A and B are shown apart, each in its own frame.
Chain A
């Protein structure tokens, strides 16, 4: 089957490539663009390790064809850090609050939490747990992930206030 010409904006840069339409977005990101932050965990849209931001929505990139994302805007964990190279508040908070142990789920977890905080800058603990229910972690028991997201939410809100 012939390849198609695919163009998308990934982490702010225009990228293009040739791929079979059946290529899964996660494979295109990892193998053609060398963005190995999003991980392949279950490959069955359960674990959330492959989560990326696609046109302003969190998606599991193992369950999206590259053909569907032709023309889209994509953000991966590689595009989450601040423009000056410092860590994003979420990344900083995961480090500070031990929101990771083995780290396998972390790129998906942070990318998902990023969208969650865009939609709801002041989530309750319950809203955080519901909001990350599509991301599995087998190490932490989630407690420190929830704490990290709460801390990042506080930090982002404080810096927003300071900027005003």
Chain B
């Protein structure tokens, strides 16, 4: 379990990190919390010859609100997300999901930027960000651009991020006051990835669903934004028929693999149950 050799770099600015990525191309990998990359390096599934450790770049840390957007620095750890008063008050689905990731030691190291950036379909934050309509800020040699979370994921570990770009921030439109949200995740044990999980965000006025979004974790090679399923809820009173339709439409877009977490059919079935539970809980905490 010894990783391959590499040269270690600890730049103090985003520009410094980009310069190193430019210089070393696909021989270089960014290191944030390291709890996805280091296990891959121990298995020699990743053998980068240059490691660019982002820990000394102060501008990548922190959680704030700027003009109607919640801005989370990429290097903010899951532990910091979990203990953020701002997120607890304005966007509780994020700390709720963070609490279901791995274990305390991993959450002290693991970062939200790493979780969304690397394209592991088992990660929880990508679906949350799709449900919230978040954008990821990518900074490269030619400046910065924003990529919608709903467009970011191409396939397992393949994303829109270019080789010489650094994902610096997650920018989330602050959800409406009174919105309801829930993240339901079935897993076999603490620390496991989801068998299936669902994020649901709703706004409800006088018993009617005004807006809805749904996204799914670990039931395809990318997170899934379940647009049709959410559409089936809007304008309804979230009664049994509407929920049944949403569950069916969400199940229809899943393409899970059969693995140690269960056969594909079972995982699709679990995804439906997670959607149903998340809708119920989001409805309950809306208002």
Contact = CB atoms under 8 A, between A and B. Distances in A.
Say if A and B assemble together: yes
B102 interface: yes
A59 B1 contact: no
Interface in A59-75: 59-60, 62-65, 67-68, 70
Interface residues of A, number: 30
Interface residues of B, number: 29
Contacts, number: 84
Interface in B1-54: 1-8, 10, 31, 34-35, 38-39, 41-42, 51, 53
Contact of B4 (A22, A68, A132): A22
Interface string B51-91: 10101000000000000000000000001000000000000
Given A65-B34, A68-B34, A134-B191, A21 B105 contact: no
A40 to B, nearest CB: 9
Contacts of A1: 5-7
Interface in B73-120: 79, 102-106, 108-109
B55 to A, nearest CB: 7
Interface stretch (A8-16, A41-49, A87-95): A41-49
A20 B8 CA distance: 9
A45 B5 contact: no
A57 interface: yes
Contacts of A134: 102-106, 190-191
A24 B109 CA distance: 15
A81 interface: no
Contact of B5 (A20, A46, A51, A59): A20
Interface string A113-151: 000100000000000001111100000000000000000
B108 A58 contact: yes
6 closest Cβ pairs, A-B complex:
A134-B103, A1-B5, A21-B8, A57-B108, A67-B8, A134-B105
Interface of A: 1, 4, 20-22, 24, 43-46, 48, 51, 57-60, 62-65, 67-68, 70, 112, 116, 130-134
19 contacts: A1-B5, A21-B5, A22-B5, A22-B41, A24-B2, A43-B1, A43-B42, A44-B39, A45-B105, A59-B108, A59-B109, A63-B39, A65-B38, A68-B31, A70-B10, A132-B104, A133-B103, A133-B104, A133-B190
